[in-house]
Structure 1
Amino acid sequence: MTNSLPDRLTKMGWNEIANHLEALLEDAARDSLSYSAFLDTLLSLEEKGKADRALKNRLQQSRLPQIKTLDNFDFTFQPSLDEKRIRDVIAREFPRDAQNILFLGPPGVGKTHLALAITYEMIKKGYRALCLTSHEFLEKAKEAMEKGDTKRFVRMLTKTDILLLDEFGFEPMDSHSANLLLQIVAQRYERGSIIITSNRSVSEWAEIVGNAALATAILDRLLHHSKAFQIRGESYRLREKKKAGFVFKATETAVNEENHRS
């Protein structure tokens, strides 16, 4: 084998073929592969390598805190959820239509799990995503305002196919952050998808952003093209603690009463 072949392949960006060329040639000779079959093997290897690297890059850029899937979500524990409807959202590739997804419900019912799982499935399909918690959003918004760099901040949150805002409403927003959120929602309207998880009902969003008119403007754009999932059920985390005998009866009663009020 000519020593320069791997180097030439690497320079052309065909890294997978370059890294495995010697073994590929040996296999081809052993199996008496035709030229077309050998070429197909080379191209398939390179295509898979490029796809794997691209997926890795998209996952890194997304800032997903962890990988979650629908297969390890216990739908039987949350009967208020329609599994088929959730899977249809993925099958129809909601980012193609810039559709928004809202998961609403009390703490611990699986909102974040579902949001991360759906986002992960879309990343695997080639979409770009960015995941931020409400706290991270507020911190980055504050930093951008202090540096006078809000345009870059808004651009960063509008250029991805999917923006995931987790735990929205966990902390109240100041007027500057709320206005930045409106800018982001407005610029993404009918151009990019937003996924939001929140334990606050939409009727409480005026309290979260501190301005009823602002909340209305945000909700008007979010809900126009959206799928909303209201989850009513027991907390997964409390279920596991109850199994271990760590939850007192009074705590269980209080949580169930709160869920019934939601």
Structure 2
Amino acid sequence: MLIHPTVERLRALGLTAMADTLIELQNNPEAAEMPHPDWLGLLVDREVTSRDNRRLVRRLSNAKLRQAAAIENVDYRAARGLDRSLFQNLATCQWIREHNHLVIVGPTGTGKSSLACALGNRACRDGFSVLYKRVPRLFADLAQARGEGRLARLIAALERINLLILDDWGPEPLTIDQRRDLLEIVDDRYDKGSLLITSQVPVSQWHDVIADPTLGDAILDRIIHNAHRIELKGDSLRRRADDRTKA
């Protein structure tokens, strides 16, 4: 059977995986014994898998995660107070489906960014759009957008993200523009999207970072009201790794 015209039509339709699989089956003598419905099922499965993989690669690329971390590689043995049961529950991404938030606080080097990126990776794999931003870079982007007259467009783009990761919140007090921008972002995401915030600053001191009692109440009420918390402790994991290397 000549399959070349069919292969070309499949490629023209953008069904590349189906075309490749059809050639593979045609060149496999054992496939000749397969019923035609099985051929069709395999062709469709390969195309679906290929498209899912391409979408995942695109989501991971757009997420711009700082670290290539995954939940399967999280170290629960390190003495940093990480609740394994809580983290594994968060890894189901149900909190993102429910538009809840997550706050990870702890000293420098306890793995906050790594945990955030691992959950961001998991969210991408579960089909959610994710964007990672260090807070100083986010505010720099917002300031630039304001100067170029595209602030509203940038904030609207952030609103469409399912999970927005804000890494390294604080400790410098926010400016007037930063407070207003943050309130806009947080308010847009209320009951529509999730935030994951990491910080060295305890939540009890976040009012001092916002540096405005009224806006501080408005911002924190929208974040903390439906937020899960991971509070890490202990010495820097990097320092402990260096000590072990030197020993």
TM range (shorter): over 0.9
Deviation at 1:65, TM superposition (A): 2.2
Any conservation in 2 of the 1:100–1:225 contact (CA below 8 Å)?
yes
CA-to-partner distance for each residue in 1:109-152, whole Å, 9 max, x for gaps?
A: 11111111111111101111111001211110111111121101
Answering whether residue 26 of structure 2 is matched by residue 25 of structure 1, we say yes
State the match for 2:245 in structure 1.
Answer: 244
Deviations 1:61-86 (A, max 9, x none): 11112321223222111352211111
Amino acid at match of 2:136: H
- Partner secondary structure for residue 157 of structure 1: helix
2:15 aligned with 1:14: yes
Contact 1:64 1:131 in 2 (8 A): yes
Q: Which shows bigger deviation, 31-40 or 51-60?
A: 31-40
**Contact persistence 1:101–1:228 (CA under 8 A):** yes
Change (3 A) 1:29 1:162: same
Match of 2:199 in 1: 198
Query: 1:107 Cα deviation (Å)?
Result: 0.5
**Contact 1:112-1:166 within 8 A present in 2 as well:** yes
Residue 190 of structure 1 aligns to a residue whose secondary structure is coil
Inter-partner Cα distance in structure 1 for 2:135 and 2:153: 19
Residue-by-residue CA offset, 1:12-61 (whole Å, 9 max, x unaligned): 22111123432222226645110111111111111110110010111111
* Kept after mapping to 1: 8 A contact 2:71/2:122: no
Contact 2:100 2:194 in 1 (8 A): yes
Report what 2:61 is aligned to: 60
In the alignment, what sits opposite 1:231?
A: 232
Over 4 Å off, 4+ runs: 28-31
Q: Secondary structure of the equivalent of 1:167? A: strand
Q: Give the structure 2 partner of residue 175 of structure 1.
A: 176
Three-state SS of the structure 1 residue aligned to 2:23 is helix
**Secondary structure at the counterpart of residue 215 of structure 2:** helix
The count of corresponding residues between Structure 1 and Structure 2 is 246
Q: Matches of 1:207 and 1:58 in 2, distance apart?
A: 35
2:41 aligned residue = 40
Render the CA deviation track for 1:237-258: whole Å, top value 9, x for unaligned.
1101222339xxxxxxxxxxxx
**Matched-pair contact (CA < 8 Å) for 2:67–2:114:** no
Identity of aligned residues (%): 26
Q: Is the 8 A contact 2:25 2:31 kept in 1?
A: no
Where 1:77 maps in the other structure, the secondary structure is coil
Q: Could you tell me how far apart the structure 2 residues matched to 1:45 and 1:217 are?
A: 49
Q: For the Cα contact (< 8 Å) 2:21–2:46, is it kept in 1?
A: no
Q: CA deviation at 1:92?
A: 5.2
Letter in 1 for 2:11: T
User: Is the partner of 1:222 in helix, strand or coil?
Assistant: helix
Q: Contact between 2:93 and 2:123, CA under 8 Å: does it hold in 1? A: no
Q: Which residue pairs with 1:219 in the alignment?
A: 220
TM-score, length-scaled by structure 2: 0.93
Q: Separation in 2 of the partners of 1:122 and 1:93?
A: 10
State the alpha-carbon separation in 2 of the partners of residues 129 and 56 from structure 1.
12
Q: CA RMSD in A?
A: 1.7
Indicate conservation of the 8 Å contact 1:134/1:170, yes or no. Answer: no
- 1:159 aligns with 160
Once the two structures are overlaid, the 10-residue window that deviates more, 117-126 or 87-96, is: 87-96
Q: Give, in whole Å, the separation in 2 of the partners of 1:65 and 1:28.
A: 47
Residue 175 (structure 1) shift: 1.2
Indicate conservation of the 8 Å contact 2:10/2:19, yes or no.
yes
Gaps of 5+ in 1: 247-262
Q: For 1:146 and 1:80, how far apart are their aligned partners in 2?
A: 43
Query: Which consecutive unaligned segments of at least 5 residues does structure 2 have?
Result: none
Cα deviations by residue, 1:138-188 (Å, 9 ceiling, x for unpaired): 110111111121101111211011000001115442211221111010010
